[in-house]
Amino acid sequence: MEEDKGVVLATERYGSAESWKYFGKDGVMERRRGGGEGQSRGNSIVGVFKSVFLPQGYPESVSDDYLQYQFWDTVQAFSSSLSGTLATQASLRGVGVGNQEATVAGATITWLLRDGTGMLGRILFAWRKGSKLDSEAKKWRLFADVLNDIAMFMEILAPYFPACFTLIVCTAGIFKSIVGVAGGATRAALTVHQARRDNMADISAKDGSQETLVNLAGLLISLVLVPLVTDNPALTLGLFFLFTILHLFANYKAVRSVVMETLNEARLSIVLQQYLKDGRILSPPQANQREPVFMEFRKTVPIKLGVRLQEVVQSPEEFNLALKKNNMPFLLGVKNGCVCVCLGPEASVHDEIRAMCQAVWLSSMLSHPTAGQPPAQQQQTHWELVHESHKLMDTVFNPFLKGVEAAGWDMKRTLLDWDEWRVEWKTKSN
């Protein structure tokens, strides 16, 4: 029977989703599915679903972690939609919906104050933390969702404190504005990671379609939910906590599933410290699994990248100390409890990585200071550590860099949080 099909003239495929063959027989060319006729109808239904909700060329056009991330992102969006319904109902009740004594003017003023404070909060947060959202996308993504749950909880409680209702909803509005900035910006950063064919717009559009479908499902369930929770505070709070737990768990699983191949401060620190410990280079999945996704409040020595020269050295003597044993296009110093890095305009991406490696090593060494030293002696110790970091990196950086590239890390760019200051200096004549 196989011979009756004719001669195979050509084959074609649509990504990995389907394949077709062209047969020629008796002067006629016929196109048939490669997997057999029995799959045609089932595959057409699945194919329509994929074309509507998944990026073109899936799975080759996205990162390997795309499906797992989107699954948990869908779960968190669904639970957040239901929590939002409960919060919205509480806010409407708080501004006077259903209360004959409430005035339209009073409700409008409360709503305007909430929106106005939210706008100010959005501007201030973007000003203070905008540059951090790329380099620490996972942390800020999870932070945004935790803050969103806090804001909704405040909105649910607000009607029970009428004297402070406006203050509570305005504070919640500020929190939600921060959520909007942090959530949207980190979503964009994750889209850059997921796009493997310069298809950011397609991934973003399909993510919007997925979220719309989830919100539609949440809307349908909310139509059943709202009559049940009306005038039932205990049930409202119980369901809210249930949805919140699901929301936070799904968000944690979502950010944990992301495997970024670019180095930020946390991932570089993890990879470098493991290499200095036993010479082993961690792969992107291994390092991402160890990367912290919660905001850390433990005391560490912070690192500032791309600072002004005066934040590194403040005298000709210190300038000479910064140049000692240093032939790199960057200067390191320790000032006011911070490791500061001053970058030259000719520095390459590899130079930036090396500077960060030295800063990470310095930060780890300074996290365990020697007690009882006078300030002058501490400053001298700091410069000795800076010189030691140059000697260490002269020995280990090149093999470390080759190992990192071989392990699958993207070394063409980084997510290190460099500021924009660039300094040119004259090296010593000797």
Q: Say if residue 153's pLDDT is above 90.
A: yes
Q: What is the mean pLDDT of residues 138-158?
A: 93
Q: Say if residue 208's pLDDT is above 70.
A: yes
| Cα–Cα distance, 226 to 81 (Å, whole number) | 13
* 25 or 17: which leads in pLDDT: 25
Classify 262 as helix, strand or coil: coil
| Cα–Cα distance, 172 to 159 (Å, whole number) | 13
Residue in 287, 281, 302 with CA at minimum distance from that of residue 403: 281
* 414 or 300: which leads in pLDDT: 414
DSSP one-letter string for 53-117: HS-TTTTTTB-TTHHHHHHHHHHHHHHHHHHHHHHHHHHHHHTTTT-TT--HHHHHHHHHHHHHH
- The pLDDT score that the predictor gives to residue 39 is 46
DSSP one-letter string for 184-204: HHHHHHHHHHHBSSS-HHHHH
Least confident of 108-112, 158-162, 206-210, 364-368: 108-112
Kindly report the average pLDDT of the chain as a whole number.
Answer: 87
How confident is residue 6, by pLDDT bands cut at 50, 70 and 90? confident
- pTM (two decimals): 0.85
The alpha carbon dihedral of 152, 154, 159, 165 has a sign of negative
Q: Say if residue 265's pLDDT is above 70.
A: yes
- The pLDDT score that the predictor gives to residue 104 is 64
Q: What is the bridge-based pairing of β-strands 18-25 and 7-14?
A: antiparallel
Residue in 174, 177, 176, 184 with CA at minimum distance from that of residue 134: 184
Are the C-beta atoms of residues 428 and 320 closer than 8 Å to each other? yes
- The pLDDT score that the predictor gives to residue 29 is 85
Q: What is the mean pLDDT of residues 328-343?
A: 94
Q: What is the pLDDT of residues 221-246, one digit of tens each?
A: 999 988 888 888 889 899 999 999 99
So where are the chain's domains?
Answer: 2-53, 66-257, 265-406
The alpha carbon dihedral of 373, 377, 379, 385 has a sign of negative
Per-position b or e across 60-91, b if 16+ CB within 10 A of its CB: ebbbebbeebbebbbbbbbbbbbbbbbbebbb
Q: What is the pLDDT of residues 368-398, one digit of tens each?
A: 765 445 555 666 788 999 999 999 999 999 9
Q: Say if residue 172's pLDDT is above 60.
A: yes
How confident is residue 19, by pLDDT bands cut at 50, 70 and 90? confident
- The pLDDT score that the predictor gives to residue 253 is 96
Torsion of CA 107, 111, 112, 116, to 10 degrees: 160
DSSP one-letter string for 374-416: -HHHHHHHHHHHHHHHHHHHHHHHHHHHHHHHHTT---S----
- Give the DSSP H/E element, type plus range, for residue 373: none
Surface-to-core class of residue 386, CB atoms within 10 Å of its CB (0-12 exposed, 13-18 middle, 19+ buried) = buried
- The pLDDT score that the predictor gives to residue 428 is 56
Of how many residues is the chain composed? 430
* 107 or 239: which leads in pLDDT: 239
How confident is residue 430, by pLDDT bands cut at 50, 70 and 90? very low
Q: What is the mean pLDDT of residues 87-99?
A: 67
Q: What is the mean pLDDT of residues 210-225?
A: 92
Are the C-beta atoms of residues 155 and 87 closer than 8 Å to each other? yes
Q: What is the mean pLDDT of residues 146-153?
A: 94
Q: What are phi and psi of 425, to 5 degrees?
A: -140, 160
For residue 360, what are the CA distances in angstroms to 102, 131, 314, 368, 388?
59, 20, 22, 13, 13
Per-position b or e across 140-173, b if 16+ CB within 10 A of its CB: bbbbbbbbbbbbbbbbbbbbeeeeebbebbbbbb
Structure tokens at 194: 């997921």
How confident is residue 45, by pLDDT bands cut at 50, 70 and 90? confident
Structure tokens at 223: 């139509």
Structure tokens at 8: 């195979």
| Cα–Cα distance, 236 to 232 (Å, whole number) | 6
CB atoms within 10 A of CB 336: 8
Q: What is the mean pLDDT of residues 104-127?
A: 84
* 411 or 30: which leads in pLDDT: 411
Q: Say if residue 351's pLDDT is above 90.
A: yes
Q: What is the mean pLDDT of residues 140-150?
A: 94
| Cα–Cα distance, 200 to 261 (Å, whole number) | 17
Residue in 382, 278, 266, 276 with CA at minimum distance from that of residue 321: 382
Fold of 66-257: Growth Hormone; Chain: A; (1.20.1250)
Q: What percent of the chain has pLDDT over 90?
A: 61
- The pLDDT score that the predictor gives to residue 375 is 58
CB atoms within 10 A of CB 10: 11
Q: Say if residue 190's pLDDT is above 60.
A: yes
